[in-house]
Structure 1
Amino acid sequence: MVEYRELLSAIGRMTGLGAGPARAAAEATLTTLARTLDEADRRELIDALPPELTDDFPMDHPGNDGTEEGFVRQAALLGRRPPEQARIRAQAVLAAVAEQDPALVARLHIPEQVRGLFEPPGSGGGITGPKGHSAPLTDAEIDAALRTLPRWSGDRSGLRRTISLPRENLHAVRRALDRLKITFGRQPQLHDTADGLVLLVRTVSVGAVTSLDLVLARRVDELIEEIGAGIGRP
């Protein structure tokens, strides 16, 4: 069983959110999770959740497509948050549920893409800093992140990836990156070079790199890999 106060406390620990926003994040995320499951698993999940979190939204419709992006998109709509914030809040909620009741999470038939969201959000200050914005990552966190993002370079002010491609391939990449604004809620800044593009990710509101930017950089890498454009390292 998932205990209400313990769940909100765990969400707050991972994100810095107070009880009210933590509850809103939990409602949006767990409703989205319920809509991702089949009827039997949905019932098992609802029975394990505190009633405070299952009353505000229909738990069975509309469904979602079982992808990570579809999950985040629906959680963002329910929680009335930008997708990049909804993603991190969803990670915190799902990680908190798994922390409390790992057996429940193991039993549920959760789509493989959605299971990736059960990893806790990065340690770079969670969602909010002192002024309510995404918190900047530290130098150590940037260094650690870059070790997992070999095509990127940079520092606390921004992460950059350089792309050199034939013009026709470059057009395909640019179109795909432009669509990220719609499908993902954010996109990198694009700067033209003589033979390609420089991609820049940073959180403008704080003038620095945050955990949201690491999520975006990884999504950009996945997108370029999907396009199969054969991009070299910077």
Structure 2
Amino acid sequence: MVRHEKWLTAVEDVAELDDPAEARAVLAAVMAAFARCLPDAARGWLADRLPSPEAGPVRDPGPANLESGTDVEAAVARRLRTTPERGRYLTQAVLTALARTDPALAEELRGRLPRAVVETLAPAGESPRDAASHRPEVPTRLSDEEVARGLRHLTGWSGDRHGIERTVQLPADRITPLVERVQREARAMNDHAHVERADGGVTFRLRTGRQGVVTEPDLWLAERIDEAVAAVGSGGRPG
């Protein structure tokens, strides 16, 4: 098993991060994304070789539907609420740090990941800090292709560059807790979800500004809505 503190230090150094807590979040996001590239058996193999903080997300990271480096960097970006460019460099930094601390595990992981992931995420040599590391004041609008790619990793969403939506069917007593949780998530992200209730369900619609465009923060909020639906819909209540 790779030594956790040594790996964290290497991630912090290679990615030029500010503190160990940030490195820990990056490491968890990247390894969870890699797990979504692997079948269940390989996820177990990877989790058994990781320290406990990262093993949990690897064992149950979500559907195994990431097939390329672009998919991985987008998943990392959504989890860390940053740009895809930043997600790419952070992912490359984690791979480089793993190669420094446990070369055998790094090589075996590369052998198990889809070739399209390994080839796309080959380090480019540019410093992660030189990538677009902060959300711009005005988020960049996404194209239909970019929206479609983002929706592939969400549950039950549809739409295009003008807006996305998801309708959820739930018992009546769970609709209000779900809506309240979604509204809290939206406020925390300085975003807004349009909510339309109907008998037996609720529809969430996301877009940015009056122009009706979709941006990365809309996809981030959609992912948080998916998490809220899973928690409340399974009997959980928002905290």
What's the TM-score once normalised by structure 2's chain length?
A: 0.50
Matched-pair contact (CA < 8 Å) for 2:15–2:90: yes
Give the Cα separation in 2 of the matches to 1:98 and 1:114. Answer: 16
How much does 1:72 deviate? 1.1
Counterpart of 1:40 in structure 2: which amino acid?
A
Structure-2 residue corresponding to 1:13: 13
Paired residue secondary structure (2:129): coil
Give the Cα separation in 1 of the matches to 2:2 and 2:149. Answer: 30
Given the superposition, is the C-alpha separation of residues 53 and 83 from structure 1 closer, same or farther in structure 2, using an over 3 Å criterion?
Answer: same
Counterpart of 1:36 in structure 2: which amino acid?
C
Counterpart of 1:72 in structure 2: which amino acid?
E
Matched-pair contact (CA < 8 Å) for 1:15–1:127: yes
How much does 1:10 deviate? 0.9
Give the Cα separation in 2 of the matches to 1:77 and 1:97. Answer: 22
Counterpart of 1:115 in structure 2: which amino acid?
V
Identical aligned pairs, as a percentage?
31
Counterpart of 2:15 in structure 1: which amino acid?
T
How much does 1:105 deviate? 3.2
Matched-pair contact (CA < 8 Å) for 2:73–2:91: yes
Deviation string 1:114-160 (CA, Å, 9 cap, x unpaired) is 11365445244x3269xx869xxxxxxxxxxxxxxxxxxxxxxxxxx
Structure-2 residue corresponding to 1:39: 40
Deviation string 1:3-36 (CA, Å, 9 cap, x unpaired) is 1111111111112112111111100000111121
Q: How many aligned residue pairs are there?
A: 140
Deviation string 1:87-130 (CA, Å, 9 cap, x unpaired) is 11111112212322222233341101211365445244x3269x
Counterpart of 1:112 in structure 2: which amino acid?
R
Structure-2 residue corresponding to 1:89: 90
Unpaired runs of 5+ residues, structure 2, are 136-141, 151-239
Structure-2 residue corresponding to 1:29: 30
Does residue 4 of the first structure (1) align with residue 4 of the second (2)? yes
Matched-pair contact (CA < 8 Å) for 1:64–1:74: no
Matched-pair contact (CA < 8 Å) for 1:94–1:117: no
Given the superposition, is the C-alpha separation of residues 26 and 41 from structure 1 closer, same or farther in structure 2, using an over 3 Å criterion?
Answer: same
Deviates more, 1:54-63 or 1:84-93: 54-63
Give the Cα separation in 1 of the matches to 2:24 and 2:130. Answer: 16
Matched-pair contact (CA < 8 Å) for 1:84–1:184: no
Given the superposition, is the C-alpha separation of residues 103 and 117 from structure 1 closer, same or farther in structure 2, using an over 3 Å criterion?
Answer: farther
- Equivalent residues in 2 for 1:172-187 (5 A)? 182=147
Counterpart of 1:63 in structure 2: which amino acid?
A
Deviation string 1:143-192 (CA, Å, 9 cap, x unpaired) is xxxxxxxxxxxxxxxxxxxxxxxxxxxxxxxxxx956765799xxxxxxx
Given the superposition, is the C-alpha separation of residues 47 and 121 from structure 1 closer, same or farther in structure 2, using an over 3 Å criterion?
Answer: farther
Deviation string 1:193-233 (CA, Å, 9 cap, x unpaired) is xxxxxxxxxxxxxxxxxxxxxxxxxxxxxxxxxxxxxxxxx
Does residue 122 of the first structure (1) align with residue 115 of the second (2)? no
Give the Cα separation in 1 of the matches to 2:34 and 2:82. Answer: 17
Give the Cα separation in 2 of the matches to 1:30 and 1:61. Answer: 12
Structure-1 residue corresponding to 2:170: none
Paired residue secondary structure (1:36): coil
Deviates more, 1:29-38 or 1:91-100: 91-100
Give the Cα separation in 1 of the matches to 2:16 and 2:46. Answer: 26
Counterpart of 1:49 in structure 2: which amino acid?
L
Give the Cα separation in 1 of the matches to 2:72 and 2:83. Answer: 13
Structure-2 residue corresponding to 1:112: 115
Structure-1 residue corresponding to 2:50: 49
Give the Cα separation in 2 of the matches to 1:60 and 1:122. Answer: 29
